């Protein structure tokens, strides 16, 4: 089984809907175990035990949410004690943006470089109103992450 961790924060509910769509997509892949957690509830062991990671955030003031930043802060230094468990861990990003999402994406990607994660798919950025088309892209994002992890190609 490949474990897919989906960590998200949501205030309006849009990022949570996106997270659930990513979870649906990942759950369609045989051999994938999906763990969906709010950022405040996710911790180091969740990160270390995951084979793949999906990070979801609203865009707040042109940046990732504080709760996503908190999750990354809480797990960074402790995870560095076990680098073999995070080195090149595949990750994807989804963002609910009121603006264009680039600030949130840039900040996550910069931190992911510090972790030495491996970005495996283009992010899904929902600008403005959340649409079914965007949710379908989120399902695809989850499927790609889970399929690659179960096949061992990442």
Handedness of CA 111, 114, 117, 120 (dihedral sign): positive
Answer yes or no: are the C-beta atoms of 43 and 35 closer than 8 Å: no
Secondary structure class of 2 (helix, strand, coil): strand
Residue 44 above 90 pLDDT?
yes
pLDDT at 3: 98
Find how far residue 6's CA is from the centre of its chain.
Answer: 5
Instruction: Decide: pTM greater than 0.85.
Output: yes
- What is the widest separation between alpha-carbon atoms in the chain? 41
Determine the Cα–Cα distance for residues 6 and 52; give it in Å rounded to an integer.
Answer: 9
pLDDT at 117: 98
Mean pLDDT over 40-68 rounds to 97
Mean pLDDT over 10-33 rounds to 98
pLDDT at 105: 98
DSSP state of 88: T
Residue 6 above 90 pLDDT?
yes
Strands 52-58 and 2-8, sheet pairing: parallel
pLDDT at 99: 87
Report the chain's mean pLDDT, rounded to a whole number. 97
Composition of the chain by helix, strand, coil, percent to 5? 50, 25, 30
pLDDT in tens, 81-125: 999 999 999 999 999 998 899 999 999 999 999 999 999 999 999
- The structure tokens listed for 10 are 């949501």
Would you place residue 21 in the very low, low, confident or very high pLDDT band (cuts 50, 70, 90)? very high
Strands 52-58 and 90-97, sheet pairing: parallel
pLDDT at 104: 97
Helix H or strand E segment including 9: none
| Contacting residues for 69 by C-beta, under 8 A, at least 6 apart | 63, 107, 111
pLDDT at 131: 97
Mean pLDDT over 22-27 rounds to 98
Q: Please name each of the domains of the chain with its CATH number.
A: 2-151 (3.40.50.360)
């Amino acid at each position: 089984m490949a474990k897919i961790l989906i960590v998200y924060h949501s205030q309006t509910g849009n990022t949570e809907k996106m997270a659930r769509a990513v979870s649906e997509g990942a759950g369609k892949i045989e051999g994938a175990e999906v763990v969906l957690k709010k950022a405040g509830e996710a911790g180091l062991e969740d990160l270390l035990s995951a084979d793949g990671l999906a990070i979801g955030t609203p865009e707040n003031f042109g940046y990732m949410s504080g709760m996503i930043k908190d999750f990354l802060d809480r797990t960074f230094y402790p995870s560095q004690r076990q680098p073999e468990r995070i080195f090149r861990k595949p990750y994807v990003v989804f963002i609910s943006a009121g603006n264009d999402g680039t600030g949130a994406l840039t900040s996550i990607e910069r931190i992911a470089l510090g972790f030495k994660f491996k970005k495996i798919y283009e992010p899904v950025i929902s600008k403005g109103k959340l649409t079914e088309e965007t949710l379908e892209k989120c399902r695809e994002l989850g499927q790609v992450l889970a399929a690659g992890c179960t096949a061992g190609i990442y």
